[in-house]
Amino acid sequence: MKNETEYIKLFEENRSLIDNPCATLLNEHRPAAFAKFAAQGFPTIKDEAYRNSNVEKLFATDYGVNLGRVKMGDNPREGFTCDVPNLATRQEFIVNDCYQSEENSNSSLPEGVLLGSLNAYARTHGELLAPYYNALACNGDSIAQFNTTFVQDGMLLYIPRNTELKETIQLVTLLRSNIEMMSNRRLLVILEDGAKANLLVCDHSSNEKATLSTQITEVFLGNNASLNLFELEETGYANNRLAHLFVRQMGYSTFNHSCITLTGGFTRNGAYVSLEGEGAEANLSGLAICDKQQHTDNHTLVEHKVGRCTSNELYKYILDEQSTGVFAGKMHIYPDAQHTASQQTNRNLCLTSCARMYAQPQLEIYADDVKCSHGSTVGQLDESALFYMQQRGIPKDEARHLLMFAFAGEVIDSIGIDALRDRLHILVEKRFRGELNRCKGCALCKQ
Amino acid sequence: MENLIEIKNLHASIDGKEILKGINLTVKPGEVHAIMGPNGSGKSTLSNVLVGHPAYTVTEGEVIYKGQDLLALNPEERSHAGIFLSFQYPVEIAGVSMTNFMRAAINAKRQALGEAPLSAGDFLKLMREKRALVNLDSKLANRSVNEGFSGGEKKRNEIFQMAMLEPTLSILDETDSGLDIDALRIVAEGVNKLKRPDTSTLVITHYQRLLDYIKPDIVHVLYNGKIVKTAGPELALELEERGYDWIKNPQ
Amino acid sequence: MKKQSNNIFKKIADKAYEYGFFSSVSTEIIEKGLNEDVIRLISKKKNEPEWMLEFRLTAYRYWLTLEMPTWAHLDIPPIDYQAISYYADPTQKSKKQNSEIDPELMKTFEKLGIPLEERLALSGMAIDAVMDSVSVKTTFKEELKEKGIIFCSMSEAIQEYPDLVRKYLGGVVNYRDNFFAALNSAVFSDGSFVYIPKGVRCPMELSTYFRINAANTGQFERTLIVADDNSYVSYLEGCTAPMRDENQLHAAIVEIIVCENAEVKYSTVQNWYPGDAEGKGGVYNFVTKRGECRGNNSKLSWTQVETGSAITWKYPSCILRGDNSQGEFYSVAVTNNYQQADTGTKMIHLGRNTRSTIISKGISAGKSQNSYRGLVRVSKSADGARNYSQCDSLLLGSLCGAHTFPYMDIHNDSAVIEHEATTSKISEEQLFYCNQRGIGTEEAIGLIVNGYAKEVLNKLPMEFAIEAQKLLSVSLEGSVG
């Protein structure tokens, strides 16, 4: 329990330093979260949910934590652009765990939309956010409690009833530090009834020192609301990420999520979706392309709490060198959730004898009138397809690339925004050709 | 150059079992040879060995193609050298579009020959031209390779690729199997349109009917891993009439 | 229609478990409770050698350090291990009188459809009949002996073939394996021992019939099967228990060793008393079954039809150590009323070109919970490993649960692993179609369920398959209203 003790001490001794820059809303959730964290400690490989992902050791590094909110570096808007050609986006930045504000940035947004620093809005709109903040994450595991204990800022996106955001919101989280650094971020996304939005979150890094980011995203979708959330991780091998995504969906809402891991160190993405209104639909997909010592773990839990909801999951892994892939997805169908349609697919390619894959697709079903299925495979590239291509004159390496690209393409093709999809196709191709092994500034535009 | 391909005493096996037991065959530029034979005689093995399928091992003999040792080349090099196999069972390749697949093939060949890659415009123009040859629907060209194609569409797609790659030696492995009479005619006409005076064709078939459309110069009978009879086109007709038993059990 | 079904349901509930009778055989039962003295007593009663007592005591001391596992999807009430008697011998009276088997005992097994007189025997089947802690009789022993096959009770094997037993016992399931394995290793009473010598194909099905009779006793049998090089055996296991209001504990171990080119088929029809419609009583079936395909080209096949027990915790597994070895697991698990089952398999691929197949059919009805839990592990050394798993669940009624928890741990890039799972129900249309053709609802369900389970039932030897089919229908009658 050495690591826990240090963070317990850090919290107890620096309570005012943590609280001072923060809104009451953030501060009032700390004691309960801290109590849970202190009681449970970090998960170990003896915990079922972490049996193949040793997160305990990640915390062993002596990271710096910017509790005093010292401004790090220059304005990221200068000298750092990150755009997708042909896609109108509105960019927001979080450097490490500090939201970078810009004056009058909200003027072009539709009326009532709130976009900006979570901490700042928690001060000015505390009552609006109170029913949402930590409403889902409070039931999360000890890493989620850890984040609630220490988190000081993040981003808020609030969209009022029947409002549609035409522009895609792009949040760039940038890791910049000269020392080993820990960042604790929080994203809160609230779409009232009938609201619609696209949110693209890109993780970048410009340093070689080890970092550890914990991130909680809480998403609330009202009736008929619709959110497309894209997450793209393109950091370095020393950048570790522990992310939790909690989603609550009301009737006939739609949530599309794509989580693409191109480069990173140790990545754990937890997605926990609760379908609480009839007709809600959740589509989760993930693609991980791993090499070296990369470790990518996607955990999903989709809870069908009411009937007539739909969920689809598609997760694909390509594992090269000594990388490790973990997929654990559970569909939980509650007793009254009749007419549920739920499907989960997990496909994995192991390219070397040192790569490892752990897959756990799970069904927990308490209703009888449901259509649920899952399928999971581990295999290699199709030898007969490779030979067919060679006979047509395509060199073996090229043929392998084409097949891997096709394998990955299924996930990318599910992305509903054309410009982003095209961009991702190019990025994945570059990734296969080894041209993306390190993010230099920004891969989205500099290549 | 006298011979396009010269196969000498070729022995080949799969999983330790010898299938080809000494094949001798010479094809000159411009000739059409038919190789016929009962099931299990080694016809498909011969075509697979010529294109370098990794499952087969050549245990003896040699193959000289355009004056060089064919067996020393890897499958893609044989393709670049102008050998094309129309597969009996073309494989489905999910997620790889026909366009991307063909572009990769064409440009790999051009690169091997020291030519610059085709521009996107020229490539698409070429696709359109060649598609017309075999009446291949443009929709099929936008789908994944062979995925969801009917039997006839797969075979037409093979001939379309042959048109794109313009081979010197085309091997048609049971191209007529699974085709109805209309599809057979379209495929065969495609093959004939592509025929040039200097290109050669090996037609591997069980039945005579394909040879009604693609006229062979020479007909061979393959039996038990060896060529047991060679004659003119009249041999195919005789086989159609009498079957293979008289070959198997010579009087 | 609803009302009518409910009536049938009542009728069935009264008669459904036809093996629920109790025989008044005079039985010697030792005091309840578990301590080293009890273990010494069991060992002494069985006249065991010193090494066997040591084996038991080591396991017991280790068991004391353990806690009951909680990871299964089961709600297990606390078990008072001191309230159980660990040894019950129904043959004691006859032994004292130095006579033949108690006629009551013979009657019991006859009533169960298991004739112990060889002249009445089912064709081509040798039987070892075990009641409570003791083997009552083993048939066709002599005939088998001629071929060099050893088929006898475990107690006898310890006396007659101590070297063989010592060589293999605990070699596949170590006493440290899990809580129940440790408990069994400490207190196991009887069971069957099978040895098939090199090159011998066992000419008949070998079968063990387990019966719990005495109250407040646990049954802890231990089975050991060794198939030497180039041999073959098909082994069947059946079980029943009387209807009692209190729960009974059954914690068995089955170990199988399959040598080079040998094949073992192990079939189970498990029909322990499941408890009544209100969930009262029933057997806790906590079993460790594992086989090791030790030799190259060896094959082990588990087939199980699980309809009984209040709670089942059971994962018949294969360790595929030999190159080209094969493991199979075919399972139908039915739960009704308040039954709970957490069952599945482990396929551990260690050798090259090893293959495994898993077909699991879960059927849940009433208020029951039915889980499949399975592991497929491909180690770094297992080049060319293949696995195909298919886990289907059928839900009958809206108050039951069906769950699937597969684990795939793949450490080899040449492995091809496929897992599929689906969930379905019997549709109103299917039932109506049958009704229109004059087939009653109960019968229709039986038909449809048997069709659903056919893939697994087909793997059972003929007599067993018919029995299992009947069992499936009976277990589910009244489950859809």
* pLDDT tens-digit map of C303-359: 999 988 899 999 999 999 999 999 999 999 999 889 999 999 999 999 999 999 999
Q: How far apart are CA A89 and CA A31, in angstroms?
A: 38
Look at residues C461, C442, C437, C316 and name the one whose alpha carbon lies nearest to residue C5. Answer: C442
Least confident range from A263-277, B209-223, C26-40: namely C26-40
Which segments of A322-410 are extended strands (E)? 324-333, 341-350, 356-365, 371-379
Q: How far apart are CA A134 and CA B79, in angstroms?
A: 62
Give me the residue from B79, B96, B144 closest to A393, CB to CB: B79
pLDDT-based confidence at residue C418 (cuts at 50, 70, 90): very high
Is residue C389 classed as helix, strand or coil in its secondary structure?
Answer: strand
Give me the residue from A353, A360, A377 closest to C413, CB to CB: A353
Q: How far apart are CA C409 and CA A360, in angstroms?
A: 9
Q: Supply the mean pLDDT for chain B.
A: 90
Q: Which two tokens stand for residue C114?
A: 């298991």
Q: Which residue has the higher pLDDT, A89 or B20?
A: B20
Residue C3 has pLDDT above 50, yes or no: no
Q: Which fold has domain B34-50+74-244?
A: Rossmann fold (3.40.50)
Contacting subunits of C (3+ beta carbon pairs below 8 A): A
Residue A129 has pLDDT above 60, yes or no: yes
Look at residues C428, C212, C174 and name the one whose alpha carbon lies nearest to residue C309. Answer: C212
Predicted pLDDT of residue B168? 95
Look at residues C355, C279, C345 and name the one whose alpha carbon lies nearest to residue C316. Answer: C345
Listed ranges A426-440, B106-120, C90-104; the one with the highest mean pLDDT: B106-120
Interface contact A376-C419, CB threshold 8 A:
yes
Query: Is the minimum CB–CB distance between A403 and chain B shorter than 8 Å?
Result: yes
Query: Is the minimum CB–CB distance between A406 and chain B shorter than 8 Å?
Result: yes
Residue labelled with tokens 């069935």:
C12
Is residue B16 classed as helix, strand or coil in its secondary structure?
Answer: coil
Q: How far apart are CA B67 and CA B171, in angstroms?
A: 19
pLDDT-based confidence at residue C86 (cuts at 50, 70, 90): confident
Q: How far apart are CA A173 and CA A154, in angstroms?
A: 10
State pLDDT tens for residues B51-96.
Answer: 999 889 999 999 999 999 999 999 999 999 999 999 999 988 888 8
State pLDDT tens for residues A114-124.
Answer: 999 999 999 99
Q: How far apart are CA B13 and CA A53, in angstroms?
A: 47
State pLDDT tens for residues B157-166.
Answer: 999 999 999 9
Q: Supply the mean pLDDT for chain C.
A: 84
Give me the residue from A387, A392, A403 closest to B161, CB to CB: A392
Listed ranges A415-419, A435-439, C1-5, C473-477; the one with the highest mean pLDDT: A415-419
Least confident range from A312-321, B23-32, B189-198, C351-360: namely B189-198
Q: Which two tokens stand for residue C424?
A: 């379905």
Predicted pLDDT of residue C95? 52
Which sign, positive or negative, has the C-alpha torsion A17, A18, A19, A21? positive
Contacting subunits of B (3+ beta carbon pairs below 8 A): A
State pLDDT tens for residues C247-286.
Answer: 888 899 999 999 999 999 999 988 888 888 888 888 899 9
Predicted pLDDT of residue A72? 64
Q: How far apart are CA A339 and CA A306, in angstroms?
A: 9
User: A387, B53 in Cβ contact below 8 A?
Assistant: yes
Give me the residue from C402, C410, C416 closest to A365, CB to CB: C402
State pLDDT tens for residues A137-156.
Answer: 999 999 999 999 999 999 99
Predicted pLDDT of residue C320? 97
| Contacting residues of A for C393, CB less than 8 Å apart | 363, 365
The interface pTM score, or ipTM, of the predicted complex is: 0.85
Least confident range from A302-306, C120-124, C126-130, C415-419: namely C120-124
Query: Using only C-alpha atoms, what is the Rg of chain B?
Result: 18
C-beta neighbour count of C63 within 10 angstroms: 21
pLDDT-based confidence at residue A83 (cuts at 50, 70, 90): low
Phi, psi values for residue C402, rounded to 5° = -135, 125
Question: Region C412-432: what's the mean pLDDT?
Answer: 87
Q: What percent of chain B has pLDDT over 90?
A: 55
Residues within 8 A of A (CB atoms), C 331-390 only = 380
Q: Which two tokens stand for residue A270?
A: 């937890």
pLDDT-based confidence at residue C2 (cuts at 50, 70, 90): very low
Q: How far apart are CA C216 and CA B26, in angstroms?
A: 87
Residues within 8 A of A (CB atoms), C 186-245 only = none
Residue labelled with tokens 């062993």:
A60
User: C405, C358 in Cβ contact below 8 A?
Assistant: no
Cα(first)–Cα(last) distance of chain B, in Å? 40
User: A341, C423 in Cβ contact below 8 A?
Assistant: no
Q: How far apart are CA A65 and CA A183, in angstroms?
A: 7
pLDDT-based confidence at residue B249 (cuts at 50, 70, 90): confident
Least confident range from A2-16, A289-303, A327-341: namely A2-16
Helix (H) or strand (E) holding C38: helix C36-45
CB pairs under 8 A between A and C: 111
Least confident range from A14-28, B35-49, B133-147: namely B133-147
Domain spans, chain C: 2-476
- Own/partner long-range contacts of C175-178 (Cβ < 8 Å, ≥24 apart): C175/C55, C175/C58, C175/C59, C175/C62, C175/C63, C176/C62, C177/C288, C178/C69, C178/C288
Query: Is the minimum CB–CB distance between C396 and chain A shorter than 8 Å?
Result: yes
Look at residues A17, A36, A8, A61 and name the one whose alpha carbon lies nearest to residue A265. Answer: A61
Write the DSSP symbol of residue B119: P
Predicted pLDDT of residue B251? 54
Q: Which two tokens stand for residue A388?
A: 């067919």
Look at residues B25, B67, B64, B29 and name the one whose alpha carbon lies nearest to residue B42. Answer: B25
The pTM for the full model equals 0.85
Residue C15 has pLDDT above 60, yes or no: no
Q: What percent of chain A has pLDDT over 90?
A: 68
Question: With touching defined as 3+ CB pairs under 8 A, do chains C and B touch?
Answer: no
Interface of chain A against chain C, CB under 8 Å? 48, 52, 335, 338, 348, 350-353, 355-380
Q: Which two tokens stand for residue B213?
A: 């459309």
| Contacting residues of A for B154, CB less than 8 Å apart | none
What angle is formed at CA B145 by the lines to CA B142 and CA B148, rounded to 5 degrees?
Answer: 85
State pLDDT tens for residues A164-209.
Answer: 999 899 999 988 888 899 999 999 999 999 999 999 999 988 777 8
Question: Region C433-446: what's the mean pLDDT?
Answer: 77
Predicted pLDDT of residue C439? 78
Q: Which residue has the higher pLDDT, C124 or A326?
A: A326
Question: Region A300-308: what's the mean pLDDT?
Answer: 97
Look at residues B89, B104, B94 and name the one whose alpha carbon lies nearest to residue B44. Answer: B89
The chain A residue lying nearest C402, using CA atoms, is A365
Interface contact C403-A365, CB threshold 8 A:
yes
Phi, psi values for residue B132, rounded to 5° = -60, -35
Q: How far apart are CA C475 and CA C481, in angstroms?
A: 15
Residues within 8 A of A (CB atoms), B 140-199 only = 144-145, 161, 165
Write the DSSP symbol of residue B2: -
Q: How far apart are CA C178 and CA A239, in angstroms?
A: 39
Residue B113 has pLDDT above 80, yes or no: yes
Residues within 8 A of A (CB atoms), B 107-126 only = 108-109, 112
Environment class of A73 (CB within 10 Å of its CB; exposed 0-12, middle 13-18, buried 19+): middle
Write the DSSP symbol of residue C73: S
Q: How far apart are CA B45 and CA B51, in angstroms?
A: 10
Residue to mutate among A349, A388, A392, with most B CBs inside 10 A, is A392
Predicted pLDDT of residue C269? 86
The chain A residue lying nearest C371, using CA atoms, is A364
Query: Is the minimum CB–CB distance between B228 and chain A shorter than 8 Å?
Result: no
Predicted pLDDT of residue C209? 80
Give me the residue from A385, A391, A403 closest to B75, CB to CB: A391
Interface contact A335-C399, CB threshold 8 A:
yes
Residue C7 has pLDDT above 60, yes or no: no
User: C29, C217 in Cβ contact below 8 A?
Assistant: yes
Helix (H) or strand (E) holding C53: helix C50-64
Query: Using only C-alpha atoms, what is the Rg of chain C?
Result: 22
C-beta neighbour count of A166 within 10 angstroms: 10
